[in-house]
Amino acid sequence: MPHIDRIELTSPIQEAKLVFDDKLDMDLQGKKKVTISENGMLYDRNYPGGVARAAVHVTTHGWDYLKVRVGGLTESQKKGRLLLVSDKIESLGRQISGRWTPGHQMEESEPDTAIFHCGGIDQQLRDYQPEVFQGPLNWKLHMAEESSWYADREAPIDLGATALELYVLKHELPKLFEADGTFKVPLLLLRMFLGAALEQKVQSRFEWVSLVTRISHGSAEPFSGKDKDTEAHWLKYHTFDGGASFGTSERGGKFRLKQWLAAYRNWTKNKVITCVNCYDQAAIVEVALSLGMDYNQVAWEYHQVFGYIPRTTKLVGWGLCNNPYFCDDKDKMIVDDDDESRWAFRNHAHLSWGPDFHPDKEEDFFDNNEDPEEFTATPIYIIDACAGPHVGNELRDTYYKQLDNNSGDEKRYPVEKLAELKRNHKPVSFWGSGLTGLSNVASNWTLKGLQDTYYSGTSIEWSDLEPPSGSPLLTKVYGGKLSTIQEHFSDFVPNVKFETPFTTTTGKWIEVEIPDEEDESGNVVTEHRMYYDADFARSYFSLRMMVTPSHNAATALIKDRTKRFSISSKEPSLMKQGSKSPITMIGGTYLKLFTYANLMVELGCLSGSKYLQDIADAVAKNLSGDEAKLAEPDQWDACLD
């Protein structure tokens, strides 16, 4: 009896592998059991249980990406032409099909088999091109007439169903996904965005851009794309100082995608909310868009001074808001337009794109077209998943006219406050490829240069943070265990003498899992975060430690982190902190930074700023309490064991 023997992928243009946290992802989504495809094998009849083998495949054409082996054929069935067809995927108007002709297939090793080279049949011409198959596919084998592939010489044969989860991408993936020569794509990311596109019957790039933006903004559900209120989102704007959570900077840089997905998992498990800013939001949109369109058609933009968002704006995770730094006081989300207490965006990052925008086809495009506002060669549409949302269908002029300070009406914003903001902050406007590159800070970058360029503050120099000359901290590395420091942090935080919001009788402290990562320089980043769950689990304290090969490398990291200190219109104080520990710190209200030997240590919080210095001091004292824990440089990563 004819049957499907096996299904496997043909050679891709890029080697791409799925990244999959088997139990966790399966539990979160309630999917049927799935495993990752090995060596391109998607289905094998001899594999027990009918388990789906999930895969991602990158190709530049829509045909010939699957090789399907059909067994159990009779000699008479193989005398004529055969057509293999899956059931139609109604949401896309597509189906998988392949043909077999006697005498033209050399791969069969047995007389009762035929191998079909298959691909998708599209019923319409579209500019949105990924193909997504989730769940069982039913197959039929047609014995075709010589005169027509679609005229049967006898009744078609039902070959039954095969489990399949396949994502066929039609554009090369950006380098962001590359690791050790292989492109690695998280299955959870594919399901969240391409799965939603499947459900919503996305037909065009405009629809794809809109869907990705709305999911990222929280106005559409991941996985399904159904409408949602952003107030129910698991990401909320950081209304205290606009800080980033996922490693991004004003130029994009390296986005911590693994940590972004972990934040989603922590939300589903513990209802833990993660705070974000416009850099984070632009980054996840840029990453997700690359799954469904040419990544090169998207640009990252940065503008300073940006201005006042109108009261019709839905701030990510919060809803209607014209005052983004309301410090979680919902009564201040919307204030009078000209209220002097109203805050603007000091700077803002968003994306732009165009159907005919191809900066990759012109050498040094962004160097030759430095100011995005002056570019008029092709229509440019704005994407903003932070404040809006603006879903990629508004031209630049329309987008900027919606700002209250661009309305022409001085009653729509606090005029003098905006004038002061412009006096204190240098105008900056640029665009670029965002996450296709890494953001690096020159080794001679100074705090004074940072302050003069981006915002004013108390001037200090890096030498103020250095240990004394001859100190072993300059030449040795930390030889203890980071787990011990993390345990001390976990024990110390709940015993701080807190006031509201950390003192309710119903609240408790939650430790969440944040995976370690390795940055582009080989430094290892580990983070420990504790949430207080009485207030929607937004209030937290975090301990992030970056393990580097040397003290000089740790100093380079603290310089880079300081450059991305804050994006709010408030004035962060880049200055020495009043530490009671023997270690000199730099920071501001919601962040304390210091180095210890080869470690760069960062303490952060959301709403507990009055307690943060004491917590940072406790961590510093614990680290510096025993210099016998210092080790030789070749042991720099032993503290991770």
| Residue 92 pLDDT | 40
Residues facing 237 on adjacent strands: 276
| Residue 234 pLDDT | 94
Q: What is the mean pLDDT of residues 427-453?
A: 56
Percent of the chain residues topping a pLDDT of 90 = 46
Banded pLDDT at 506 (limits 50, 70, 90): low
431 vs 107: which has the higher pLDDT: 431
> Could you tell me the strand order of the sheet in which 52-58 lies?
34-36, 52-58, 165-169, 131-134
CA proximity to 85, closest of 147, 4, 1, 185: 4
451 vs 195: which has the higher pLDDT: 195
Q: What is the mean pLDDT of residues 614-624?
A: 93
Backbone angles phi, psi at 630, to 5 degrees: -75, 145
Most confident range, picked from 77-91, 478-492, 503-517, 532-546: 478-492
Banded pLDDT at 429 (limits 50, 70, 90): very high
- Residue 39: which region, alpha, beta or left (left: phi > 0; alpha: psi -120 to 50)? left
User: Tens digits of per-residue pLDDT, 371-404?
Assistant: 999 999 999 999 999 999 999 999 999 999 999 9
Residues facing 394 on adjacent strands: 382
Please, what is the average pLDDT of the chain? Answer: 84
pLDDT of residue 367 exceeding 50: yes
Q: What is the mean pLDDT of residues 291-311?
A: 95
| Residue 447 pLDDT | 42
Specify whether the CB–CB gap between 639 and 552 falls below 8 A.
no
> What amino acid occupies position 516?
D
55 vs 278: which has the higher pLDDT: 278
Banded pLDDT at 321 (limits 50, 70, 90): very high
| Residue 454 pLDDT | 42
| Residue 608 pLDDT | 80
Percent of the chain residues topping a pLDDT of 70 = 83
Specify whether the CB–CB gap between 125 and 119 falls below 8 A.
no
575 vs 344: which has the higher pLDDT: 344
| Residue 176 pLDDT | 81
Q: How far apart are CA 181 and CA 15, in angstroms?
A: 8
Per the structure block, which two tokens stand in for 455? 């915002």
pLDDT of residue 346 exceeding 80: yes
Crossing angle of the two packed helices 205-217 and 187-199, in degrees rounded to 10: 120
| Residue 274 pLDDT | 92
User: Tens digits of per-residue pLDDT, 181-196?
Assistant: 788 899 999 999 999 9
Q: What is the mean pLDDT of residues 200-211?
A: 94
Q: Model pTM?
A: 0.86
pLDDT of residue 434 exceeding 70: yes
The H helix count followed by the E strand count for the chain is 12, 35
CA proximity to 553, closest of 521, 575, 584, 527: 521
Banded pLDDT at 147 (limits 50, 70, 90): confident
Lowest mean pLDDT among 89-103, 131-145, 351-365: 89-103
Q: What is the mean pLDDT of residues 425-443?
A: 66
Q: What is the mean pLDDT of residues 508-537?
A: 80
pLDDT of residue 15 exceeding 50: yes
| Residue 440 pLDDT | 32
Lowest mean pLDDT among 95-109, 152-166, 449-463: 449-463
pLDDT of residue 249 exceeding 50: yes
| Residue 90 pLDDT | 45
Q: How far apart are CA 481 and CA 474, in angstroms?
A: 19
Banded pLDDT at 120 (limits 50, 70, 90): confident
| Residue 32 pLDDT | 57
| Residue 437 pLDDT | 37
165 vs 412: which has the higher pLDDT: 412
> What amino acid occupies position 203?
Q
| Residue 121 pLDDT | 60
| Residue 452 pLDDT | 47
- DSSP letter for each residue of 88-99: PBTTTTEEEEEE
pLDDT of residue 460 exceeding 80: no
Banded pLDDT at 214 (limits 50, 70, 90): very high
152 vs 614: which has the higher pLDDT: 614
> What amino acid occupies position 112?
D
242 vs 309: which has the higher pLDDT: 309
User: Tens digits of per-residue pLDDT, 584-594?
Assistant: 888 877 889 99
Specify whether the CB–CB gap between 107 and 115 falls below 8 A.
yes
User: Tens digits of per-residue pLDDT, 25-78?
Assistant: 766 666 656 777 777 888 888 876 556 678 888 876 656 788 899 999 998 888
